[in-house]
A = this chain, B = another copy of it.
């Protein structure tokens, strides 16, 4: 391997992994039978890591190993192996607060930067389901629990400052992964950059307009500074429908390797933006006009449910667990009008920030490096571009005029209006 790696690190192949696991009694018990009988398959189709599924007589596990570079690109883009450690640590912290909503971590192997976790089956990546217009009736309930609890319990509202500072310290070194976000979301789509791509030539004019849009570049730069400097809570860092595995009854948030202590609204906005993007994508998948009207209605309802559910649960947690150093109860007692006012002002600010991050995440998926399958799966480039233009039109307004969206219903209302204007 050309890239330098720490002593003892080596990329696992199926045999080496089998040997490693055979030395871990808890894993052996979970899999069952002789290690020679286990089925070991490398299944990683993500951008960054090796992923193995191992199955024995009793059950299965999932193994994720960090590579010292971006798998999608190769050794020319080195990437810190320690992201596996940050994923492991974030998973442990989130499991404390969000039991049953994240995969159970079974083992961490520091030398190999390798995580062993429960196998999620028959869960699928939610994005795949949503492209196929599958309804997940319990998603809102689960994801709002995850968001409210993972953010609240790692914020200054729940933790004393010294514990918060220790958490910031632990995750600060995850700079390589933060840099990906800083570049791909907050910078590249707004300039000429070799990593950008878009549906061409249909969106060439839009991409050029983006690079010349001063108010948009100012707004995105302000947002980038917030991402760099606001240490509000432990974020998942890449919360979208591709980081969520679902069945009709269960929801698991996976892959927190981008975890760091940052602005809470980033997680919220990223998820909302990806849901809005999915809303716009169905016009490219329909074989008959109006075929997916009911599904679009469910997506809209889901977007509303995610925000309102999150906000309500977050505020409820805040009312019940005032264990942090911020907003001291001695100044703002429970039940007082002023505490209610403090909560409302706090959540309104978070909403406006989330609107901005939602717009930013929609833009990067349309003009930046990494696109979403929701739109990429639309094979006809004209149909795809038509959807993407609607995504971009709304997204710009969310970033630049976030303050004019007082409610989540106004966001989806504007999305519907843009779509209906074009399609009748």
Binding site for B on A (CB under 8 A): 156, 161-162, 164-166, 168-169, 172-173, 175, 178-179, 182, 187, 190-191, 214-215, 217-218, 220-222, 224-225, 228-232, 325-328, 330-332, 336-338, 341-342, 345
Contact = CB atoms under 8 A, between A and B. Distances in A.
Question: What is the total number of copies of this protein in its complex?
Answer: 2
Contacts of A156: 225, 228-229
A42 to B, nearest CB: 31
A332 B220 CA distance: 11
15 contacts: A156-B228, A164-B229, A165-B175, A168-B168, A168-B172, A190-B330, A217-B331, A217-B332, A220-B331, A221-B327, A221-B328, A224-B326, A229-B231, A229-B232, A230-B230
The A interface is mostly helix, strand or loop, or mixed, namely: helix
Contacts of A338: 214-215, 217-218
Contacts of A331: 187, 190-191, 217, 220-221
Contacts of A178: 161, 165
B173 A342 contact: no
Given A165-B175, A169-B173, A175-B165, A328 B214 contact: no
A281 to B, nearest CB: 28
A330 B194 CA distance: 14
Contacts of A191: 328, 330-331
A337 B214 contact: yes
Nearest to A327: B221
